[in-house]
Chain A
Amino acid sequence: MSDREATATALKPTGSGDGGRPTIRVEGAVKSFDGRVVVDVDELTLGDHPIEGLIGPNGAGKTTLMRMIMHTVKLDRGTITFFPPRASADRGEILSSRPPHEIARLGVVKTNQVIQDFDELTISDSLLLSVAKAPDERLFRIFREDKLFEEYAEPIRWYLDGFGFKDPHGFAMSAGAKKLLDIIRCLLLRPKVLLLDEPAAGLPGEVRDRVIELVKEKASTENISVVIIEHDLNVIWDVCDYVHFMAEGRVILQGVPEWIREHETVVEKYLGSGHVGG
């Protein structure tokens, strides 16, 4: 393990971006369930590149690490810090001591691997919920709806039209529609760091391509740092500027996609042959 770590360290990017990217730094983060260590990440910075991939075999701890960042899973040890764009090194926000909703408000947002929805809310409800800010949602603000609707009608309409939602006041029925809605809700929050947990799973190919295109565009034009967990490695090789490879709770390889693919032997050991090509 140690020589691999050494390789990984040596191949870290020398200049970490332009310093203007929003980043997340994970330091000494450990999580174990029932005595089994699931995540043990000594040091990891996410967001130095516009789009980064987080790959690894099942059970490598990718999703748990994301949940630790969102603080829906408590850390046993360690800290996770968010650095907003252009923040100096000492101006980070410690995420691992905040409740999940504050993390979302800081601009760190995650889509869900498993389908999540509000059963009683229509599609447009769900998107309006996402864009509404705390002052809109005070319990005495009972005449706020029209203003909110007016203010956000345009971006919501843009997403609804762009993804072909025929009936915005109806409910999301299919698994694909719910998954897509989950991603749109996150994008409407105008995140600074966007964590996508298996965005391609469950989406029809055409929709998946649109989502990926959109995410790429946002990453470059709006300075969003995107981190994608994905089992479909073709997506990773296509869109990611940098890849973190996790296994057994640790990050054991980091590098540009081409470099990771060159180290077939390591990756194949974990993912099995045939995954690297394509």
Chain B
Amino acid sequence: MNLDWLSSFLIFGLFFVVMMIGLALLLHLQMGLAGIGNFGIVGFWGIGMYAFGVLWVRADWPFGEPWPFLISLAFGTVAAGLAGLLIGWLIADLDADGIVVGTLGFATVVLILATTEKSLTGGAYGMGGLDFPYDVGTIKGNEASWLAIVIVLVGALLFYVARVHRSPYGRLLISLGANAPLAGSLGKPTFGTKLWLFVVGSAGMGLLGAMYGVMVHFLSPLKIGIEITLAAIVGLVLGGRSRVWGAVVGVLLTVGLFDIVIQLYAPLPASLSAQALPVLREVLFGATLIVVLMFRPLGILGRMRRDKLMRRMHGE
């Protein structure tokens, strides 16, 4: 297969966009449906990335690949899920403000741990040694395959989310977001449902984090800053937080537009240094969020429209 058109930069950009769509889809379930405003996305993502990386690189594996890789990947996912269990247990009963502060604080804790636990994580300096668990011959081939894997994974996630909207589980999540005490009075376990959603969502974020770690080969605290959380939230809110395709549309229009189209194809003035671009990106994302919340608070795709969905599913 001729992959000349696919530059390494483009592969990386696409990988990042697809992964962000995955994060935004998980956030959609938590925030868009169940009303849990998770501002600690990067924390769970980072735990998955570091737990996976540290175990894979630092452990003395008695057997060959792919087992160490797969075990480490599972470990990163489970570690993020357990973090979700702890944080979810603390916040599931709090109001919206409490959840935002609690999850933000958690992400900060993860960042500090990654910086201070030098013997494991390499501290601020970071740690390398991560690579693809396979070798197809060329670097570009390896990267493209990894991109294909994450596309399949996020595609499956998108399918799952679309099915959730059409299942009793999705209805339960929406009822929690709309009126949790009323759902409780109808026999719905509000705390348990939110907690499990949080655990599974966090585990998914951890898995995406571990996969990102493989793609970049090198982990450092610089990679687990608030930008990841912000990009997922801005993308989801812009697209439409309660719509299945909101995450896809929104992330394509923010991360996709900026990280791929502008950086790759727009004639940026040479005076714009490489250091200025990420800062400019954050400014633009922040401004986008403000404008969307002012003029179209429900995002481009608008409100949920259960009436249309129910007609489609069960007829008139």
B316 within 8 A of A: yes
Whether B172 contacts A118 by the Cβ 8 Å rule is: no
Specify the chain A residue showing the minimal Cβ separation from B303: A120
A207 within 8 A of B: no
Whether A119 contacts B166 by the Cβ 8 Å rule is: no
Whether A116 contacts B310 by the Cβ 8 Å rule is: no
Whether B179 contacts A116 by the Cβ 8 Å rule is: yes
Whether A129 contacts B186 by the Cβ 8 Å rule is: yes
Whether A129 contacts B171 by the Cβ 8 Å rule is: yes
Whether B311 contacts A137 by the Cβ 8 Å rule is: no
Find chain B residues with CB under 8 A from A99 CB.
184, 189, 191
Interface-central residue, A105, A110, A145, A185, by most chain B CB under 10 Å: A145
> If A104-B184, A137-B168, A137-B172 touch, does A121 touch B189 (CB 8 Å cutoff)?
no
Find chain B residues with CB under 8 A from A125 CB.
171, 174, 306, 310
Interface-central residue, B160, B164, B169, by most chain A CB under 10 Å: B169
Whether B178 contacts A118 by the Cβ 8 Å rule is: yes
B223 within 8 A of A: no
Whether B242 contacts A101 by the Cβ 8 Å rule is: no
Find chain B residues with CB under 8 A from A132 CB.
168, 171-172
Whether A70 contacts B185 by the Cβ 8 Å rule is: yes
Whether B304 contacts A171 by the Cβ 8 Å rule is: no
B64 within 8 A of A: no
> If A118-B178, A139-B196 touch, does A144 touch B168 (CB 8 Å cutoff)?
yes
The answer, among A112, A121, A141, for a CB contact under 8 Å with B167, is A141
The answer, among A110, A119, A134, for a CB contact under 8 Å with B178, is A119
Distance (Å) between the CB of A117 and the closest chain B CB? Answer: 7
A64 within 8 A of B: no
A143 within 8 A of B: yes
B182 within 8 A of A: yes
CA distance A117 to B184 in the complex (A): 13
Whether A134 contacts B185 by the Cβ 8 Å rule is: no
Residues 135-176 of chain B: 1 if any A CB is under 8 Å from the residue's CB, otherwise 0? 000000000000000000000000010011011110110110
Whether A129 contacts B187 by the Cβ 8 Å rule is: no
CA distance A110 to B174 in the complex (A): 21
Specify the chain B residue showing the minimal Cβ separation from A72: B181
B188 within 8 A of A: yes
Interface-central residue, B178, B185, B189, B313, by most chain A CB under 10 Å: B185
Whether A149 contacts B167 by the Cβ 8 Å rule is: no
A57 within 8 A of B: no
> If A120-B178, A121-B175, A134-B189 touch, does A142 touch B310 (CB 8 Å cutoff)?
no
The answer, among B177, B181, B193, B314, for a CB contact under 8 Å with A124, is B314
B200 within 8 A of A: yes
B65 within 8 A of A: no
Whether A189 contacts B187 by the Cβ 8 Å rule is: yes
A100 within 8 A of B: yes
Whether B196 contacts A169 by the Cβ 8 Å rule is: no
CA distance A100 to B164 in the complex (A): 25
Find chain B residues with CB under 8 A from A119 CB.
178-179
Distance (Å) between the CB of B86 and the closest chain A CB? Answer: 19
CA distance A142 to B188 in the complex (A): 18
The answer, among B183, B185, B303, B306, for a CB contact under 8 Å with A110, is B185
Distance (Å) between the CB of A166 and the closest chain B CB? Answer: 11
CA distance A171 to B197 in the complex (A): 27
Whether A105 contacts B178 by the Cβ 8 Å rule is: no
Distance (Å) between the CB of A115 and the closest chain B CB? Answer: 10
Residues 95-108 of chain A: 1 if any B CB is under 8 Å from the residue's CB, otherwise 0? 00001111011000
CA distance A109 to B186 in the complex (A): 8
> If A139-B196, A169-B311 touch, does A101 touch B184 (CB 8 Å cutoff)?
yes
Find chain B residues with CB under 8 A from A129 CB.
168, 171-172, 175, 183, 186, 188
Whether B177 contacts A120 by the Cβ 8 Å rule is: yes
Specify the chain B residue showing the minimal Cβ separation from A171: B307
CA distance A120 to B242 in the complex (A): 10
CA distance A121 to B173 in the complex (A): 11
A269 within 8 A of B: no
Distance (Å) between the CB of B44 and the closest chain A CB? Answer: 17
Whether A145 contacts B174 by the Cβ 8 Å rule is: no
A130 within 8 A of B: yes
Whether B169 contacts A101 by the Cβ 8 Å rule is: no
A136 within 8 A of B: yes
Distance (Å) between the CB of A6 and the closest chain B CB? Answer: 37
CA distance A72 to B181 in the complex (A): 8
Find chain A residues with CB under 8 A from B169 CB.
137-139, 141-142, 144
Find chain B residues with CB under 8 A from A142 CB.
160, 163-164, 166-167, 169
Q: List 21 A-B contacts (CB under 8 A).
A: A100-B185, A110-B185, A112-B185, A116-B181, A120-B174, A121-B174, A121-B306, A124-B314, A125-B306, A129-B172, A129-B183, A129-B186, A130-B186, A137-B168, A138-B169, A141-B167, A143-B167, A145-B166, A145-B167, A148-B168, A149-B314
A residues lining the B interface (CB < 8 Å): 70, 72, 99-102, 104-105, 109-110, 112, 116-122, 124-125, 128-130, 132, 134, 136-139, 141-145, 148-149, 169-171, 185-186, 189
Closest 4 CB pairs of A and B: A142-B163, A104-B187, A118-B178, A169-B310
